[in-house]
């Protein structure tokens, strides 16, 4: 059942998502993927500056086929969304039974 859910998630992200790039220090290549932006806020960073902070859902397909040693996103990775680098603050795997079908990332930048 889970492999069917993973395929459905990949199709939904292809239709409703946008292209993003996940980068990690120490990895020679970035991972191109489809993701879906979720709600967010403008967070005051002190003085007169602020940054966007929001959640993004990404599938597992692109991560599993990448050349990265670790097949999951991690805190301190960089996600390029809409041409802007966003720092990954938190990663939450979403599961169907024991299979991870999505990752929900909290990003800022």
Which structural domains are found in the chain, ordered by start?
2-108 (2.40.10)
Cβ-based neighbours of 76, under 8 Å, separated by 6 or more: 25, 87, 88
What confidence score (pLDDT) does residue 4 get? Answer: 83
Q: φ, ψ for residue 98 (rounded to 5)? A: -105, -5
Q: What is the model's pTM? A: 0.85
- Among 19-28, 43-52, 70-79, 81-90, the range scoring the smallest mean pLDDT is 43-52
Calculate mean pLDDT across residues 41-46.
Answer: 74
Q: Among 68, 60, 38, 57, which Cα is nearest to 105's?
A: 57
Please say if the pLDDT value at position 1 is more than 70. no
What confidence score (pLDDT) does residue 2 get? Answer: 63
């Amino acid at each position: 059942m889970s492999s069917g859910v993973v395929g459905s998630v990949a199709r939904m992200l292809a239709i409703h998502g946008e292209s993003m790039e996940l980068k990690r220090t120490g990895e020679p290549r970035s991972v191109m993927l489809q993701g879906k932006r979720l709600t967010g806020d403008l967070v005051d960073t002190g003085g007169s500056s602020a940054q966007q902070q929001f959640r993004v859902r990404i599938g597992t397909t692109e991560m599993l086929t990448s050349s990265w040693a670790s097949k999951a996103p991690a805190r301190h990775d960089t996600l390029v969304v809409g041409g802007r680098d966003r720092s990954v603050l938190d990663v939450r795997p979403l599961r169907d039974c024991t299979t991870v079908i999505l990752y929900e990332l909290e990003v800022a930048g």
